[in-house]
Amino acid sequence: MKFDALALAAAVRAGQVRAVDIAQASIARIHARLDLLAVTRCLAERALDEAAAVDAMVARGEDPGPLAGVPYGVKDLFDVAGLATTAGSASRIDAAPAARDAVAIERLRAAGAVLVATLNMDEFAYGFVTDNAHWGITRNPHDPARFAGGSSGGSAAAVAAGLVAFALGSDTNGSIRIPAALCGVFGNKPTHGSLPMDGVFPFVDSLDDIGAFARSAADLAVIDAVLRQDNAVPDFVPRPAVLDGWFERNLTPAMRFAFDLFTIGFPRVSLDRVDKARSAAFLMTAYEGGRFHLPALRDQALAYDPAVRDRLIAGAALPEAVYRAALDWRTTFIAQVEALLDRHKVLIAPVVMGEAPRIDDPVVVVDGERQPARANLGLYTQPISFCGLPVVSAPLPVRGLPLGVQLIGARGSDRALLQWAAGLEARGDLAPKLEETC
């Protein structure tokens, strides 16, 4: 049984497959792939209850919705009624259970989707590799010696391995786009603030967004429509351009080849001082994240993952003047980017420099220097989320390990961007890389 969301929902709505059977298959797959360390909690009882409710609606001749019986998981920072929202931290395992589901989960349930699992992440979403001190390092389904990317690595790995049909994650600096690219699936970071954040554990309010991972752009578009409660697609005639300079430095040979092939014939355009935008995003993250966590750090610093704790403490010490300077540069930088988007509608950039880093050599090469992957995989994603723009992280059709591109749209063009990505996928210009067993 392939876990394509649209196909599964169509079969359930037509009474050809029972949602309960799909949920059981998903649960079985989760238990068969515990080695991935993608899943933190399998919600078997809840999933079977939700699936039975979907089947009962079909039996009564009612339509359960566009995601009828489709199994999914959520990054472990979404509120799930009755469970502690850990945000990937062992320090929150005994937190008070959530009184209700996050709004995003409520909307998915109303559309017939079936929640099966919570998924691994970097602690408090502060990292790009999903190296979690308590739940372990999520493995890349395409090579278990490599990272899945992060911070929503469990979500990406679970979709790529076919444990669930789709998953929710969050993206502050690249935390959906990066794992989607490294695991070979589609992911979307929406226009900032356009999808519901109620019931999502925060990291950096100015930059946080939720989004989804799926096996196709068409699946992603349906999930987005459910989350957004809007399926309208405006007219859209892109004249895509490729971001050069900063965004074309440091690519691995495999990425260089695949990226050039994908972007052949598109004009190249430049942004000024992308390095400054990336540093500003880095500092905003450290400042807001550090200040949010400071009260807890004063009380229980040693309960944090050391790699996260030390970043947060340093960030909490940043002066407000630095934060204000970062915000000022954001205004200037956004004006530059929006001028390009007025002309081109879509800008294209790599997601990361190349293939997923190896777990035993957790570095990336930036300007000839080996730098920690945990903090530096966001080289190309941070300057874009800094602007609050919608992005589809799309897998390139490659033979080796997965590689991905960012399709960047103007503010509010989320729906059109997803439809355009689906067209590219239908043409074969984009292709997910899924575990062959699925």
Partner 1 sequence: MTEFPLFDLTEEAEIAAALAEALAIDLPEACLPGVAANVRLLRRHIAVLRDEV
From 152-160, 225-233, 263-271, 302-310, give the range in contact with partner 1 by CB under 8 A.
302-310
DSSP letter string, 146-172? EE--SSSHHHHHHHHTTSSSEEEEEES
8 Å CB contact between 99 and 177? no
Considering only residues 82, 97, 193, 306, which one is a binding residue for partner 1 as defined by CB under 8 A? 306
- Is 53 one of the binding residues for partner 1 (CB under 8 A)? no
- 297 lies in the site for partner 1, by CB under 8 A: yes
298 binds partner 1 (CB under 8 A): yes
What SS3 class is residue 333?
helix
| CA atoms within 13 Å, Cβ hemisphere of 50 | 27
Tell me the backbone φ, ψ of residue 143, rounded to 5 degrees. -170, 100
Which of 321, 367, 399, 428 is close enough to bind partner 1 by CB under 8 A?
A: 321
325 binds partner 1 (CB under 8 A): yes
Based on the residue annotation, tell me whether 75 is a catalytic residue of this protein. yes
**Angle subtended at Cα 82 by Cα 80 and Cα 84, rounded to the nearest 5 degrees:** 70
Output the smallest distance, CB 148 to partner 1, in A: 24
Q: For residues 198 and 213, what is the distance between their CA atoms, to the nearest angstrom?
A: 19
- Pairing status of strand 346-350 against strand 404-409: antiparallel
Q: Tell whether the torsion through CA atoms of 110, 112, 118 and 123 is positive or negative.
A: negative
The pattern of x and - marking residues 363 through 402 that bind partner 1 according to CB under 8 A reads: ------------x---------------------------
**Closer Cβ to partner 1, 166 or 329, answer by number:** 329
Residue 171: CB minimum distance to partner 1, A: 20
CA distances in angstroms from 432 to 216, 271, 409, listed in the order given:
7, 29, 21
Given 322, 334, 363, 431, the residue binding partner 1 (CB under 8 A):
322
Tell me, yes or no, if 151 is annotated catalytic: yes
- Residue of 26, 152, 170, 175 marked active site: 175
Rounded CA separation 156/89 (Å): 19
> Which of 275, 365, 370, 400 lies at the binding interface for partner 1 (CB under 8 A)?
275
**Closer CB to partner 1, 259 or 380, in the complex:** 380
Nearer CB in complex with partner 1: 284/346: 284
Please tell me the number of Cα atoms within 13 Å of 224 on its side-chain side.
Answer: 32
How many residues of this chain interact with partner 1, rule: CB under 8 A?
30
Among 32, 56, 314, 365, binds partner 1 (CB under 8 A): 314
24, 279, 336, 419: which one binds partner 1 (CB under 8 A): 279
CA within 13 Å, CB half, 149: 39
Q: Which is nearer to partner 1, 139 or 311 (CB)?
A: 311
Between CA 94 and CA 292 the distance in angstroms is 20
- Ramachandran sector of residue 391 (left: φ over 0; alpha: ψ -120 to 50; beta: rest): beta
State which residue, 10 or 318, has the beta carbon closest to partner 1: 318
- Binding of partner 1 at residue 125 (CB under 8 A)? no
Cβ-contact 80, 199 below 8 angstroms: no
Q: Given the rule CB under 8 A, which residues bind partner 1?
A: 275-276, 279-280, 282-283, 286, 294, 297-298, 301-302, 306-307, 309-311, 313-319, 321-322, 325-326, 329, 375
The catalytic residues are 75, 151, 175
